[in-house]
Amino acid sequence: MNADGRTRLHQTPEWKALAKHRDELGEVRLRDLFAADPGRGTGCTLRVGDLYVDHSKHLVTDETLRLLRELAAATGVFGLRDAMFRGERINTTEDRAVLHTALRAPRDAVIEVDGENVVPKVHAVLDEMADFADRVRSGEWTGHTGKRIRNVVNVGIGGSDLGPAMAYEALRAFTDRELTVRFVSNVDGADLHEATRDLDPAETLFVIASKTFTTIETVTNATSARTWLLKALGDEKAVARHFVALSTNAEKVAGFGIDTANMFEFWDWVGGRYSYDSAIGLSLMIAIGPDRFREMLDGFHLVDEHFRTAPAESNVPLLMGLLGVWYGNFMGAQSHAVLPYSHYLSKFTAYLQQLDMESNGKSVDREGRPVAWQTGPVVWGTPGTNGQHAYYQLIHQGTKLIPADFIGFARPVAELSDELAAQHDLLMANFFAQTQALAFGKTPDEVRAEGVPEELVPHKTFRGDHPTTTILARELTPSVLGQLVALYEHKVFVQGAIWNIDSFDQWGVELGKVLAKRVEPALTEGAEVPGLDASTKALVAAYRELRGRK
């Protein structure tokens, strides 16, 4: 039993019913499921906004889905969802509300935190961002020497990098092509070096993105960027024209030397990995313009409303979350692949890695007790068709169960030449062929019928039954991107709620930070670090020798 008297997850009747159902189902063959139900292809599709979501190629029956929905209801997913939307402090270990949904709420919405409606604040910052973005885009905001800003360098890490960097790539076709926009995150000096080496400091704006403004990588890179700028422009006053900050921490921003008049604010109820439609999106907004940014927010909001109000049977994030629970908790899957068939989504899976793995990579429940069930999967993947020529072999014929999401678009971006646009059908032919091959494989008899010698038959047989979700949309617009990201945010929410973990803290990143600080003097000065283990001690000594330090 839980501290609050509730039965623990794996002891609930709903969990046990799913385990029994899995045993009774035995080996699920997609060929059989489709043969038994000719309507499965169209029947197992849901629509949300501009997204067409096909879940027919999953190792589930109607009964499986019904039992999974019962698990969701029994574990309080809907109550927690409503509490999140109401602004309750559902991030219990940090005692914070979780309100990224307020960042995309319409102007007239009312969402209260501690009795204060936060929506007017959200729109006030969005308006300030829009005003600033317009001034940079029009050339009205100039650098210290009066030159037009032609380069924007976002300096941030984790949630202050991955979201805007991913969305910038995704929406490149909507960006001002006259502007150079780059993202620096790594504390490896090579990152800043490569991002700035061909830029004119007089034309460069640094956007320092950090919720806390204490993150060592970001503060270090921001300090180096400042030095780079001042070396060229020679005047401290230049900082005010070339640096803006995106943060919740005005004191630290001022301490760094950025005028808080040039700071765009957000709030502690926005988690880092849920923050790119807050002020953290400024670099993106400069690139695509305020109108496109607002279209993206509307896309998020559309899916928020769907998640909040759609019945369980047609609720897409709920379904995606439940399918993940089925594979992770009842079928032994350890990972989940996200495979976008769009070059523009090249950073989408990396973005989802933080969203999913930082949220649900937990091993104690909300009451602090070890969980007795699997939690978040390893999320991985790269854009198709590249993966097909690399690791798809393992998905098709390896020994692991890897559920995958395939994301594709009916139309290429408008600016492609006719010749390049014509390649789109080939891209999408691969997209459809892969999910078909993964689901239905190729039987030994089919292989034999092709005249393959008997000894090669096992090698050329594809078992099939590799489950996939297909998400299809007309084209990758700002709104569609917002819809996609919100789908995954809420999918992660559903899973965290079922597993009874706090999806909104990230204590697991702290230990490494503390140890890095402790070990640094050993590298630089050869200082004795108390309590350093024998392995690390030897490695540090080898490092110092290789670095040419005595």
Ligand X SMILES: O=P(O)(O)OC[C@H]1O[C@H](O)[C@H](O)[C@@H](O)[C@@H]1O
Question: What is d(CA 351, CA 371) in angstroms, rounded to the nearest whole number?
Answer: 26
Tokens, residue 529: 């670090």
Q: Is residue 68 a contact residue for ligand X (CB under 6 A)?
A: no
Residue 210 touching ligand X (CB under 6 A):
yes
- Give CA–CA dist 385/403, Å, rounded: 17
Among the listed residues 389, 419, 454, 459, the single catalytic one is: 389
Type of residue numbered 496: G
Q: Is 358 a catalytic residue?
A: yes
Whole-number Å distance between alpha carbons of 292 and 280: 16
DSSP bridge pairs for 207: 154, 244
Contacting residue, 509, 516, 527, 542, with ligand X by CB under 6 A = 509
Minimum separation from the CB atom of position 506 to ligand X (A): 5
143, 158, 201, 290: which one binds ligand X (CB under 6 A): 158
Least distance from C-beta 517 to ligand X, angstroms?
A: 13
Q: Which is nearer to ligand X, 295 or 358 (CB)?
A: 358
Q: Cα–Cα distance between 281 and 284 in angstroms, integer? A: 5
Pick from 207, 215, 112: nearest CA to 506: 215
Q: Does 317 bind ligand X (CB under 6 A)?
A: no
Closest distance to ligand X from the beta carbon of 105 (Å): 22
CB of 255 to ligand X, least distance (A): 15
DSSP codes of every residue in 56-96: TTSS--HHHHHHHHHHHHHTTHHHHHHHHHHT---BTTTTB
3-class SS at 55?
A: coil
Query: Would you call 282 helix, strand, or coil by DSSP?
Result: helix
Q: Does 218 bind ligand X (CB under 6 A)?
A: yes
**Phi, psi of 258, rounded to the nearest 5 degrees:** -100, 130
Q: Exactly one of 169, 265, 358, 489 is catalytic; which is it?
A: 358
**Closer to ligand X by Cβ: residue 94 or 305:** 94
Q: How many amino acids of this chain bind ligand X (CB under 6 A)? A: 14
Asked if 211 touches ligand X (CB under 6 A), the answer is yes
Q: Is 347 in the site for ligand X (CB under 6 A)?
A: no
Strands (DSSP E) contained in 381-531 are 404-409, 468-473
One residue of 87, 143, 159, 381 binding ligand X per CB under 6 A? 159
Nearer to ligand X, 157 or 166 (CB): 157
Q: How far is the CB of 427 from ligand X (least distance, A)?
A: 33
Of 215, 353, 359, 461, the one binding ligand X (CB under 6 A) is 215
Residue 441 region, left (φ>0) first, then alpha (ψ -120 to 50), else beta?
left
Regarding 212 and contact with ligand X (CB under 6 A), the answer is yes
Task: Kindly state the smallest distance separating residue 358's Cβ from ligand X, in Å.
Answer: 6
513 is catalytic: yes
d(C-alpha 89, C-alpha 67), whole Å: 29
Helices (H), 179-289: 189-196, 216-233, 239-242, 250-256, 282-288
Residue whose pair of structure tokens reads 């709420």 in the numeric block: 105
Which strands, in side-by-side order, build the sheet including 45-48? Answer: 45-48, 51-54, 468-473, 404-409, 335-340, 378-380
Nearer to ligand X, 157 or 486 (CB): 157
Nearer to ligand X, 507 or 543 (CB): 507
Catalytic-labelled residue, pool 415, 513, 520, 545: 513
* Residue that is written with structure tokens 């993947």 in the block: 381
Strands 378-380 and 335-340: parallel
| Residues between 103 and 142 with contacts to ligand X, criterion CB under 6 A | none
Q: Between residues 163 and 383, which has the closer beta carbon with respect to ligand X?
A: 163
Report the C-alpha gap between 463 and 524 in whole angstroms: 55
Shortest distance (Å) from residue 530 CB to ligand X: 25
Q: Which one of residues 56, 101, 160, 359 is an interface residue with ligand X (CB under 6 A)? A: 160
Binders of ligand X among residues 320 to 339 (CB under 6 A) are none
Q: Could you give the C-alpha distances from 184 to 157, 165, 189, 259, 545, in angstroms and in order?
A: 8, 9, 10, 22, 30
Shorter beta-carbon distance to ligand X: residue 319 or 357: 357
Query: 3-class secondary structure for 384-423?
Result: CCHHHHCCHHHHHHCCCCCCEEEEEECCCCCCCCHHHHHC
Q: Which of 87, 143, 163, 272 binds ligand X (CB under 6 A)?
A: 272
506 near ligand X (CB under 6 A): yes
Interface residue with ligand X, options 55, 273, 294, 490 (CB under 6 A): 273
What minimum distance in Å lies between the beta carbon of 296 and ligand X? Answer: 19
Minimum CB–partner distance for residue 347 and ligand X (Å): 15
Residue 489 among the catalytic residues: no
Nearest CA-CA partner of 102 in 83, 133, 123, 82: 123
360 lies in the site for ligand X, by CB under 6 A: no
Q: Is 157 in the site for ligand X (CB under 6 A)?
A: yes
Angle ∠(374,375,377) on CA atoms, nearest 5: 100
* Binding status of residue 470 toward ligand X by CB under 6 A: no
**Cross-strand pairs, 134:** none
Task: Name the minimum Å distance from CB 128 to ligand X.
Answer: 19
Residue 515 interacts with ligand X (CB under 6 A)? no
Give the range of 69-77, 87-95, 212-220, 262-270 binding ligand X by CB under 6 A: 212-220
154 touching ligand X, by CB under 6 A: no
Nearer to ligand X, 195 or 325 (CB): 195
Closer of 160 and 382 to ligand X (Cβ):
160
Give the phi and the psi of residue 116 in degrees, each rounded to 5: -110, 130
Q: Identify which range of 155-163, 399-407, 433-441, 540-548 contacts ligand X by CB under 6 A.
A: 155-163
Catalytic residues: 358, 389, 513
Write out the residues near ligand X by the rule CB under 6 A: 157-160, 210-212, 215, 218, 272-273, 358, 506, 509
